Chain A
Amino acid sequence: MGETVCEIRDLRKSFGQNHVLLGIDLELRSGEVTVLMGANGAGKSTLVKVLCGHHRMDGGHMTLAGAPYAPHDAAEAIARGVVTVHQSIDDGVIPDLDVATNLMLDRLTEPGAGLFVRDAKLRARAAEVARGMGLTVDVRRRVADLDIADRQMIAIARAMARAPKVLVLDEPTSSLSAAEAERLFSLIDRLRAQGVAILYISHRMSDIRRLADKIVCMRDGAISGVFAQAPLDYEAAVAAMLGHKMTEVDITPRRGNAPVLECAGLQLQPGRPPIDLTLRECEVVAVTGLLGSGKTRLAEIIYGLRRPAGGTMRLDGAPYAPRDARAAVAAGVFLSPKDRGANAVIPDFDIADNMTLPFLGAFSRLSLLSRARQRDTVGEMVDRIGVVCRSPRDGILTLSGGNQQKVMIGRWLIEPCRVLLLDEPFQGVDIGARRDIGRHIRDTAAGRATIVLVAEIDEAIEIADRIIVLNEGALAGEHVNENIDLGRLVAQVSGPAPMLATETTA
């Protein structure tokens, strides 16, 4: 264990009457990964924002390397050696510039930097930084052309160019696949060995198991548990975060009734083996697989956003080939897309308008909207799925991530449908909200076929009657969710993909 680099004592922060942090005590030691867990609204992001100089603290004090620390702004925090990599990757990089410029950007703004940029020198220094981090990208490539994991690494490498004492990572794996995350983890291992104190914020148990030296749990603006003794007690940590014990989800798989959606010889991409798939009424099917396995493509084909490379679909026995999203919705096929910030949330709208957006027609006569009817329906749905808000007329962005997601899913539960597609419904959602959403999806599953597309196997097991594994656009396995052979499932997810013209047996 290293020495204490950053010490926080009795930190308090309020926004108006809303007391967000009620006296936080926290120590960050060099060469240690401290994982911060907390449900949405627990105050994690506020704590991070105080640390990185975005918010001023109202009370308490912080010390950094023995000296008092109270940054006025982000620049001061960075200058003092506290560097933060934020959740949305593109905050950390400039996509239109090349890797070298991104890595050296902070140097360009330093006082004393020359007027002209010498590219060759810049590249040489950038390449040095990249090597030090174990990065293998060509520094001349444009960041926008890199994949998400590389961009994330660049953001971290940029942060590391400052030789920080404290590195704060805010849910860095939320958009990474397992393989990409593993690259990130080895980078974090390297930084830990260099003696950096790392504060790692995450919901993902797999990340936490892999990285944590110490777990700190937050609930309702206070520390609710600190776990530092090996072996770490993960279950107790989750319990401290949620305030109640994590109950094992036990699902009795339902068989499903009549087939609703039948895919015959569906080819997700040219050159990939065809997929046969039948989705039945009342059943919840989880489709799992890594990033690039074709999950999202499958959803897009069913929702009419893409054409399959081959094969046909039938909905309730009739041929089904939607031209666009509109046609799919009209046929009773709904999709709640992933990345709600980009694909689902209307930031200017309140909860009620966001929730009723697809079905405004049902709330209007001669196109004139009835606010009363909107209010009734939304109020009822808000109660049913447990959205925490003051009123349905609150702006959507005032809600925490988990509550926003509940609104996005509630949107598609207003009207009955034949097929409900949920692409990564648990993305950026705390465990409490995840349970609520999962339970609600299962409770309402009668009368439709439900497809949930998730990358995490845990999430699939939590919600599905049946689990389908995709691997590079091919069907790699199918399991009824009862006494699943996890080893085999994981092998199907991560193993070599079935090839064209090979029999796929589950």
Chain B
Amino acid sequence: MPLNIDFLQVLLHLFNFVILSAGLYLLLYKPVKGFMDRREAAYAQKAQEAEERIAEAMELRRTYEEQLAGLEKEMDESRRSLRMALEAERQEELEKAREKAEQIVKKAAAEARLEHERMMIDVNRQTGELAEEATKRLLGRSTSDLFDDFLDLSEEAIAAEGLYDSMEARAYE
């Protein structure tokens, strides 16, 4: 054969390589590849677990954020209702105060009216008494003297009782 090609030797080389391949596969390739595959699978599993944990954490975060948003909404609602209740209470108190003030004013007005009437009655009464005194004196003196006496007595009585000032004050009011 050209180039010293010998098919027997080709077969011997083939046989040799097949033995070498089988031995290398069983002794070297398979264990090393198996170890690498196992390690890769372990890393892949760890990566998957990490991804799952991240997904769980994200879900948990989303839930908490939703809860937080709900809480804020609830707080706003309660704050608004509280403000409304406070406003209503304030209005009620204000109304009560206003009513009370009106009552006080009415009472004061009534008392003032009563006082005025009582004073008028007193004035009338004193006027009557003065008139009676004056009549009595009139019966014993001249008309002008009596009239002067009447006026003097009236002024004195008014000054003594302070009725003049109070009447002036009333008049001003």
Partners in one complex: no
